[in-house]
Structure 1
Amino acid sequence: MTRITKNFTLEELSHSNTAKAKNIPNEPGTVEKANLVKLAICLLQPLRNLYGKTMVVNSGYRSPEVNRLVGGVPTSLHMQGKAADISCENPRELQKLLVRSGLPFDQAILYDDGRNNFLHLSFNEGKNRKQVLYSKGTRP
């Protein structure tokens, strides 16, 4: 296991149930691995420290094929290792905490539509837009 931070490993940031089920490789390259490390160090771990509760990575790195199969947008930062979908006790609370924290982030998209309940987080060094968004069907 390749531990990046106290609470996050490279393996969990590149795991994909879809890739395993379809027997598709989902191995990040050198650049994508470096981006996953930055994501964990600069955003995920500091946010986890503030939250103080478990955060589970549903989806981190996605190969282009895996991204297509899960319905990801063609420009998804998941394919660059710059995004992760996080499940936790209260994703809405986590999003609010992130905004108040001042931590750098690109997007924090809340999915709370009755079917999904997670927070998409991205970190895009030097290009962080601090966008707080809500998926279709999710109330602000």
Structure 2
Amino acid sequence: MQLTQHFTLAELTKSSTAERLELDNTPPPQVLPALIQTAEMLERIRSTLGVPVTVTSGYRAWAVNKAVKGATTSDHAQGRAADIVAPRYGTPLQIARALAPLVDVLGIGQLIYERFGSTSWVHVSTRVPDKRVNRVITITSAGTQLGVQEV
């Protein structure tokens, strides 16, 4: 099912963890509107970056979210978030730095630059966090910092 011009439902629900553990990652019908909003946000990001955006993690059924040790309040489980990379644009750090000043314009509720070891990605969500100071943050194994930080 095509959600927007460049993003499909299959793309936003693909999960190697779900496949490996044979978990159903099919979103319930009530999550579909949130997935469409997420895909629309991803379209704006793609247009801004000027290159294709790859979703490395989108929707996660609760069992999948638990298996990846996601937060119990994860926006992924509500269809409101995606972890992305865009190698043709640059590193996730470069992507996060480009998008951070544009969160309002692009309809990004929260942007997180995440880095664990040599792996990094950008988490984007349509939901604005309760504490607006947490709107743009960096998360690493060392903890959470405000803004996009090189670690």
Q: Which has the higher contact order (CA 8 A, sep 6+)?
A: 1
Normalising by structure 2, report the TM-score.
Answer: 0.82
Residue ranges of structure 2 left out of the alignment (5+ in a row): 143-147
Structure 2 residue 86 is matched with structure 1 residue 85: no
* CA shift for structure 1 position 137: 4.3
Normalising by structure 1, report the TM-score.
Answer: 0.88
CA distance in 2, matches of 1:120, 1:51: 15
Residue ranges of structure 1 left out of the alignment (5+ in a row): none
Q: Which residue of 2 aligns with 1:73?
A: 71
CA distance in 2, matches of 1:115, 1:22: 25
CA contact (8 A) 2:75 2:125 kept: yes
Q: Which residue of 1 aligns with 2:59?
A: 61
CA RMSD of aligned residues (A): 2.2
Q: Which residue of 1 aligns with 2:12?
A: 13
* C-alpha distance after superposition, 1:57-105 (max 9, x if no partner): 1111101110011010110010000001102222122222222332222
User: Partner of 1:96: helix, strand, or coil?
Assistant: helix
Aligned partner (choices 107, 111, 122) of residue 108 of structure 1 = 111
Runs of 4+ in 1 over 3 A off after TM superposition: 127-130
CA distance in 2, matches of 1:29, 1:85: 20
